[in-house]
């Protein structure tokens, strides 16, 4: 039994949830999100709440029960208040710039890395802090992971791209001996 799936999800005012022919859509002030529903799971909307139930008692249906309940919660939360991830670019000469729908990163390579921003995301760059926001939690997290993967923080000086608040354990460098060889 899924603890997350058993709880019904309340729909806040100003938000519409509908399930039509295997596709769930959530509409709110932050936009519209759509997701296809697996045939093993049923999503019902009634009396200002959404309930997710498995159609069969197979292992797959029970696994997807809580997953789809979390998806519904995240979609409802995202259309009302956008999800935000912040990345910090750290290192001498490292910088991030936004021009139109392209994020340009100068992170120690011979050329700048250019990443196109997906539709539905808002990016802001201020003093080497990249702020990614959007209604779709998966899309925000995925884009933040793609940007971070361009130059992960290295363990000796901590240079690279990291999440704000992320702790990078730094290793001790080589020790210099005073003897002659």
Q: Report the CATH fold assignment for 3-80.
A: Outer Surface Protein A; domain 3 (3.90.930)
CA 39 – CA 81 distance, rounded (Å): 29
Same CATH fold assignment for domains 3-80 and 83-163: yes
Domain spans of the chain, in order of start = 3-80, 83-163
pLDDT, tens digit (0-9, with 9 covering 90-100), for 33-75 = 999 999 999 999 988 899 999 999 999 998 899 999 999 999 9
pLDDT, tens digit (0-9, with 9 covering 90-100), for 100-127 = 999 999 998 999 999 999 999 999 999 8
Q: Report the CATH fold assignment for 83-163.
A: Outer Surface Protein A; domain 3 (3.90.930)
**This prediction's pTM:** 0.87
CA 154 – CA 45 distance, rounded (Å): 48
**Continuous H helices in the chain:** 3-6, 59-80, 137-149
- Average pLDDT of the segment spanning 2-8: 81
């Amino acid at each position: 039994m899924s603890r997350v799936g058993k709880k019904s999800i309340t729909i806040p005012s100003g938000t519409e949830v509908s399930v039509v022919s295997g596709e769930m859509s959530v509409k709110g002030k932050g936009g519209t999100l759509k997701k296809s529903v697996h045939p093993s799971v049923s999503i019902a909307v009634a009396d200002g709440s959404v309930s997710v139930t498995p159609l069969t008692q197979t292992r797959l249906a029970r696994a997807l029960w809580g997953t789809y309940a979390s998806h519904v919660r995240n979609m409802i939360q995202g259309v009302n208040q956008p999800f935000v991830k912040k990345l910090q670019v750290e290192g001498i000469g490292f910088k991030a710039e936004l021009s139109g729908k392209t994020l340009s990163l100068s992170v120690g390579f011979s050329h700048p890395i250019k990443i196109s921003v997906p539709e539905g995301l808002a990016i802001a760059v201020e003093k080497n802090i990249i702020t990614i926001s959007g209604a779709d939690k998966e899309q925000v997290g995925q884009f933040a992971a793609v940007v971070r993967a361009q130059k992960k923080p290295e363990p000796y000086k901590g240079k690279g791209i990291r999440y704000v608040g992320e702790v990078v354990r730094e290793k001790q460098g080589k020790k210099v001996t005073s003897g002659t060889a």
